[in-house]
A and B are shown apart, each in its own frame.
Chain A
Amino acid sequence: MNLSMKWLNDYVKADMPIKDFVAGITMSGSKVETYSEMRGEVDKVVVGKVLEIKKHEDSDKLWICQVDVGQEAPIQIVTAATNVFAGAFIPVVLDGGTVIDRHNNTVAKIKKGKLRGAESCGMFCSFEELGMDNSDFPYSSADGVLILNDDPDFDKIKIGEDVLKFVGLDDISVEFEITNNRPDCLSVLGLARETSATFGLPYNVKEPTFKGAGGDINSELSVTVENPQLCSRYMAAKVKNVKIAPSPRWMVERLRASGVRAINNLVDITNFVMLEYGHPMHAFDARYVAGNKIIVRNAKDGETLKLLDDAKEPVKLSPEMLVICDAEKPMAVAGVMGGEYSGIWDDTTEVIFESACFDGVSVRRTARKVGERTEASSRFEKGLDPINAKNALYRALQLVEELGCGEVVSNVIDVDNSNKTPHKLKHDYKWVNNFLGADIPEEEQIDILERLGFEYDRANHEITVPSVRIDMNLPCDIGEEIARIYGYNKIASTIPKLSSRSRITKEQRFADKLVNIMISQGCLETMTFSFISPKSYEKIRLPEEQRKSVTLLRPLGEDTSVMRTTMIPSMTELIVRNINNRTPAGRFFELGRIYLPKSTPEELPEERDVLCIGAYGPDEDFFTLKGIVEAIFDETGINAKFSRSADPTFHTGRCADITAGNVKIGTIGELHPIVAENYGVKERIYIASLDTAAMCELADTEIRYRQLPKFPAISRDLSLVCDDSTESGEIIEIINRAGKHLEQVTLFDMYKGAGVPEGKKSLSYKLVMRREDKTMEAEEADKSVEKILKALGEKNITLR
């Protein structure tokens, strides 16, 4: 909403400095986005009168003028304009002044200078150079300078006066961001009311009236509302002997400052009233209202209407849409836009004004369906007031008479099914104070409410809400009105005494622990989008049955269209991006979420938290990543097992399922070379994906102190030879099963090559044995080793 300060001042005298106005009105709830002086960059332009004009001696095209600009002596101006004459009143930009250079879209600074030897102390301006256009000066042309003698207000002109005042550029346009609950503030009057309340200034608005030129509208027009649910009030008025002409300057100025271009008096009146009262109106040329009938009804299947916009194709209407029809056909989509014949033409002689209340939800849906969210529809959809509909219509008729652009038929048609019972609310000043935590005296509260236009009944402590204030329903609404006008920042701040206490869940502690471990392992925490491209599943060779995902109805693009069921594509993508950025190595982790759909899309998916870890670079391999994962298990007391896996995303020989008990908690591996290739890289990428909920369930993070050993340990190293296919995990299991008093079994070397037969490998383990009750004897240790070797021997694993 762009507000003309001049227009506002017609109703409330807000003549404080603009900065104070903007700050005050923002802090009472009408937020100012920005404001701008209408003069823009135009400066030092005055009204000049050409006293004398003669040809330049050295030029065919230039003229030398003596111009009275209100100074002691006339100044000399050299011009190439062809429409200058002695006696012409023209805007003159003086030495040092600035005007708009439309062709280059810049500001031009004018300086005294010589043109072919003749001194020129200023420049004549066209309306373009003042930043205006033809609609502001219909009598002038952009080709020549602006001759003010033709202006309807010529009699008010003064030589030497700032021309901006004369042409109405002495205004300020204030841009408001009006919240959804206050459609009434999308109007000059609404903001005048707020201004009055905020600054304590009188609000001078009278109910509009018109005289009428006689006649009875009922003999010339009939209105039928077939669906009063969607149209609670429909008013129509008629104007005869219409004289289409440009609007007066004050109206053009105000429209311009509100961001609306003037067109002609009748069209301008509807726009003017919409801005002033916040109520959209429509004007029909009576010639095209067939049968002199207006019927407000739902559209019929198959009906179409070509709208007033530039679209070539007519829009298809459907039965849920409300349309304004004549005896034969739809003329307008109610509250949205008129049809091509519903407007005002240069030869229009009779006009029918419509001022109505249409159902907001219906208008919104219809507007969306026909693809036309207009100024009118955006107002109707918030819900408009039936009383204001009448005021708007009367104001329009008043303006028709004031501007002398036609004869108004003395009465209007009013099909009114609206509820106009006054809306009353109880006011309890103590409740308000308790609610706000404030101490605002009753009188001050009443004063605030009255300033806002609420009628106050002191006997019953009751307010009557103005009908435009659709947002007032509950005591807390009154509380807000009082708070915002009193001043939010004047209400004392207090700290509540909370009777609740902070709790931390096991899952939250576990997540914190995981993060700490990841940081300790040198991993950078990442943050990836939770929606991905469905093509990612193909890229990571995810089995078909795991690809079913929660799918967005209208995603921004294919690459963000499904909610991920795995974090591997997100991790792979970010690693690939880092590889492409030529970062040589990296370790990453993310505690992210995956979304596993249920059988129907109406059911919410299962959301699971996943810890995804990724690594790449010359120093990383399967075992460095496994080391990171093992750090988690060591720290959280999870007894996890790694077993070879055939997950198609990963390298067939370098992938393991991670289980604990019977629960699968994750997968670890090197990405399959085809997967890496699908992402356009050759580098080896290592990824682990762990289910945090499953881990949290299994975790044993309780710390129990164990006494330090009292007796010395004995250690033995075993170098074993086994088949290449034998896995170390299996050997350790055999050792643990067969040995006695084993405290630790660690693999410290793996060797293949000379000395070890083809198809075999050598694995070396350190065994640490200790008794808790006494010093372990060497013989006992040797016996234990013997047993272990025997057990290993059965599996064809021998000492090297």
Chain B
Amino acid sequence: MMKEQLQKIREQAAAEIAALSDTKALDDLRVKFLGKKGELTAILKQMGSLSAEERPVMGQLANDVRTQLENAISEKAEALKAAVTEQRLKTEAVDVTMPGTKRSIGTRHPLNIVLEDLKSIFRGMGYTVVDGPEVEETKYVFDMLNTDEGHPAREPSDTFYITENTLLRTQTSSVQIRTMLKEKPPIAIISPGRVYRPDAVDGTHSPIFHQCEGLVIDKNITFGDLKGTLENFAKSLYGNDVKLRFRPHHFPYTEPSAEVDLSCFKCGGKGCSLCKGEGWIEMLGSGVVHPQVLINCGIDPNEYSGFAFGIGLERIAMMRYNIDDMRLLYENDARFLSQF
């Protein structure tokens, strides 16, 4: 009798579990069968009326039914939960090809990207970055750099004068002079900054442009050191395959002086439109510091020697980014700036 009842409960519960489809109904079902006043509990309460032989048998059966019920309920619960999750994921699906929500990030100016590269390369070699005034005295820009009265660079057609003795610096070498006057060797500096020359604005000229000049003063510095330093620099900037060519030139403040050509980084030296078929690109001016410049700054040329170089940032930036018009660098068009 009790056995039939238990069987019936088992079948009835299995059928009901299979039929239901939400967690609330499942909870109700649990109470209905397994709760304190549930059907299975009610049957178990009748155990006392069974014979001693029947009791363990029925007890065993009742426990089996209970375990089966519990398992079925928890299985159903998991299935229901999975279905709910499944449903949620389905409704929450998005079009992953739609654009992301961006927080716009600013950009650096291309000239400063180049300058940062230069700074980190030279800082890595032990140089200090120094700054100086843009409105300068002629003595720091010309006189002390061996560029005497009468030198074409001093002509008003090549220099913006403020008064007879003050001007907008035409090169950042003035910072080197100020440094040598202030500090004792050893000196290893770069002086980046704005320089000014009266060139009307066009695709390749600007009255304001940017230089990064370097100066090393120490004991036993040679022309070979200048070559090695600039080769190191060029390789850091353009990679190990780049070749340098040192071409004799003249600057009043260095002797010997050299213009430095780089093997064209576009064609590797075969000749292309960038290097105008020559395979070389004129990159910078350099030289061994003229002893008179050292004397002018109170440094004994018999004890110390050094080299200097000057790099144009515009040239590097324009070639690196393929910018064909210098004006773009100063027009500050957001469509241009945001590309960097």
Contacts and interface: CB of A to CB of B under 8 A. Distances in A.
Nearest to B329: A527
B250 A181 contact: yes
A503 interface: yes
Contacts of B223: 435-438, 479, 483, 488, 491
A491 B244 CA distance: 13
B182 to A, nearest CB: 14
Contact of A518 (B106, B160, B208): B106
Contacts of B127: 500, 502
A496 B332 contact: no
A581 B335 CA distance: 9
Interface stretch (B33-41, B70-78, B132-140): B132-140
Interface in B113-140: 123-129, 133-137
B337 to A, nearest CB: 4
A588 B332 CA distance: 9
Interface string B184-214: 0011100000100010100000011000000
A33 to B, nearest CB: 12
Contacts of B160: 552-555
B248 A578 contact: no
A534 B290 CA distance: 41
A488 B290 CA distance: 17
Contacts of B218: 496, 498-500
A239 to B, nearest CB: 35
B59 interface: no
B330 A528 contact: yes
B108 interface: yes
A14 B331 CA distance: 51
A502 B123 contact: yes
B125 A527 contact: no
Contacts of A563: 135, 168
Contacts of B109: 525-527
A476 B256 contact: yes
A553 B246 contact: no
Nearest to B245: A489
Contact of B106 (A29, A361, A524): A524
Interface of B is mostly: mixed
Given A476-B256, A552-B162, A498 B334 contact: no
A28 B248 contact: yes
Contacts of B221: 496
Given A495-B225, A526-B337, A550 B248 contact: no
B248 A27 contact: yes
Interface residues of A, number: 81
Contacts of B187: 500
B134 A525 contact: no
Interface in A648-690: none
Pick from A502, A519, A577 the residue with the most CB of B within 10 Å.
A502
Nearest to B335: A583
A519 B152 contact: no
Contacts of A484: 248, 256
B207 to A, nearest CB: 6
Contact of B111 (A474, A483, A498, A527): A527
Interface string A535-558: 000000000000000111111100
Nearest to B221: A496
Contacts of B151: 180
Pick from A488, A496, A521, A577 the residue with the most CB of B within 10 Å.
A496
A690 B301 CA distance: 44
A493 interface: yes
Contacts of A279: none
A460 interface: no
B163 A601 contact: yes
B99 interface: no
B186 A499 contact: yes
A554 B156 contact: yes
A524 B124 CA distance: 28
B166 interface: yes
B256 A479 contact: yes
Contacts of B103: 522
Given A31-B247, A496-B225, A500-B187, A601 B166 contact: yes
Nearest to B287: A480
B247 A27 contact: yes
Contacts of A474: 255, 291-292
14 contacts: A381-B150, A436-B223, A474-B292, A480-B257, A483-B223, A496-B222, A496-B229, A502-B126, A519-B105, A519-B107, A521-B106, A556-B207, A588-B334, A601-B166
Interface of B: 103-109, 111-112, 123-129, 133-137, 149-152, 156, 160-163, 165-166, 168, 186-188, 194, 198, 200, 207-208, 216, 218-225, 227-229, 231-232, 245-250, 252, 255-258, 288, 290-292, 305, 329-335, 337-338
Closest 3 CB pairs of A and B: A437-B224, A437-B222, A29-B248
